[in-house]
Structure 1
Amino acid sequence: MDISRRDFFKVAGSTVIGAAAYSIAGGFGSALAQAPVVGSTQITNGIQSVGSKAKVYFTKHIDAAHLIKLYDLINEGIYGKVAIKLHTGEKNGPNIIPRDMAKAFWQHVPNSSIVETNTLYKGDRYTTEGHKETLKVNGWTFCPVDIMDEYGNVMLPVRGGRHFKEMSLGKNIVNYDAMVVLTHFKGHAMGGYGGSMKNIAIGCADAKIGKKMVHGVPLDKELDEAWDVVYKQDMLMETMAESAKATIDYFGKHIVFLNVMRRMSVDCDCAGTSAAEPTIPDIGILASTDILAIDQASVDLVYASPHNKDLVERIESRHGLHQLAAMHDLKMGNDKYELISID
């Protein structure tokens, strides 16, 4: 990673409030190229297709050994100080990624820390103090957990954004050389589903500014004061994509994605103990250097799964598939992929 770039963003990292947070830009730009991986047989939907295809690796085994095996296939660009972005959940949430699996993974990634940000809604992680207590309750005590917006925000560019030309993220994001996006794939009350894109779109945005930008909440209001002005569904999918693009543009080839498809409630881990019991069977783990490909593959596996009615209804009722269209329009990745089983 270019040190001068990182130092620049550190200098630019003071809190910014006002009209700049809602700046508009037109047109689309190219995302930074993703790290190459070794190819295999095209089996997506059983159809041969013309043109380039992203590689998405898959296992039906949901455990630490297979998670690490998948990661080792895609981690060529991961070195230096590494951020592991995962959703640590509200207190006692029943569906979050198992701590023993996350611990074994963290131990496998040198010089790494879990990273999070505070929430826009008033829950267990609304304040840094409450967030730290929640981390203890949920067992995230085996490694450093960096609440990236504890000391403010940093504005990073959104290359080619239609709604934003920059996004407000947790200030400490610029302290890292690489990021591993370790996602519990599940449903979501507003997004329809939460995959890799949602994990960084909301999870890297700071609570005071960035999350308000994504949701369309005026900076002088709280979420519960602004439900009448929160973005409609398609707009929300687009602003989430642009927020995520700020993160993937910043890390370039030094970001990879893992989706863990287990205990897929229709509700996000932000619902805590009130999350609905999953009705769809566990599917497995996916890994890719391409954010669009991995979320597209995850959605396809949900649609191909038996007993998927509840999760599909949640996705479609919230226009969740527009997440994929928004990422495609922003050239964030490839929706054509090879699903490569390692089993």
Structure 2
Amino acid sequence: MTDAARPTHAPADHPAIPREKIGVLLANLGTPDDTSYWPMRRYLNEFLSDQRVIDYPKWKWQPILQGIVLTIRPFKSGAAYKTIWNEEENESPLMTITKDQTAKLKKTLKDRYGETVMVDYCMRYGNPSTKSKVQAMVAAGCTKILFCPLYPQYAGATTATANDQFFRALMEEKWQPATRTLPPYFDDPAYIDALAQSVESAYAEMEEQPDILVCSYHGLPFRYLTEGDPYHCHCVKTTRLLKERLGWADDKITSTFQSRFGPEEWLQPYTVEEVARLAEQGKKKIAVIAPAFSADCIETLEEINEEIRESFEHAGGESFTYIPCLNDDDAHITALAGRIEANLKGWID
């Protein structure tokens, strides 16, 4: 229930209006509802039909997607999801972690702002939808909403498409709230410090230090960089700032890109190939971290921990350590809360 009331000077038959609030809406990529064929197909269809993700002309891409990709890929993706699925909650790890992040941020912001700020989460693809959560916030009395895509580095295929969906949801509101979108935070000192702490904690538990830390970022077609997408630059800067925060030499850390899809050239070096090259060059002990992901998901728990690990070991690698995403780690929540609080200034102090 909302704490609604009739405005003081309104007539007796005026409808009750909820007390004004500020919404903070976290947004992540999304997740299928289940690992079986049809839920996987629905999710993949929504994801792969997004022209921010795959920008080929619809007349060219949709027949391939509907006729070939969505006939085969749901089985393969479903099998991959099954290996990481949270059976207890019947949901993907991304969903579980996003819920945990939201709960911690809700507590943090409530401690500072009381009931004035409402915190919730949505997904760009799948459920809960961005539209449903915008509607819920408006109904609860949010006259201002800060929309927060949980992507440290900006990319058109991640941050921009999340914002697009948020704006589409606003188009259906009779009384639109004032809105802001959270800028990328790839160089935020608190975020870099949280990454560094996660590396230091992982290294402290190892008997032997890795020869190199591989920062594996989600890939994009190289063409996107030439067309003006800043993602590659943001990733490289995150790695440099992490290196400086750790006080390391240049040869102790590197940037790579994973999850290549389709025939065209993507951002390089490709993680799956680079880890094999490192092993062949004598770097037999490596650690891998995924700074572009705010929560562990299929790309980290399955792709990095299985496919990329196998590539390294097949090439002669001996010790492979995956350092988990920041997830709901307290340092990560502190960093996110700091970014949110900075972007609420002027609305609430």
Question: TM class, shorter-chain normalised?
Answer: under 0.3
Structure ranking higher in helix proportion: 2
Per the normalisation by structure 2, the TM-score is: 0.27
Larger RCO (alpha carbons 8 Å, 6+ apart): 1
Which protein is bigger by CA-based radius of gyration?
A: 2
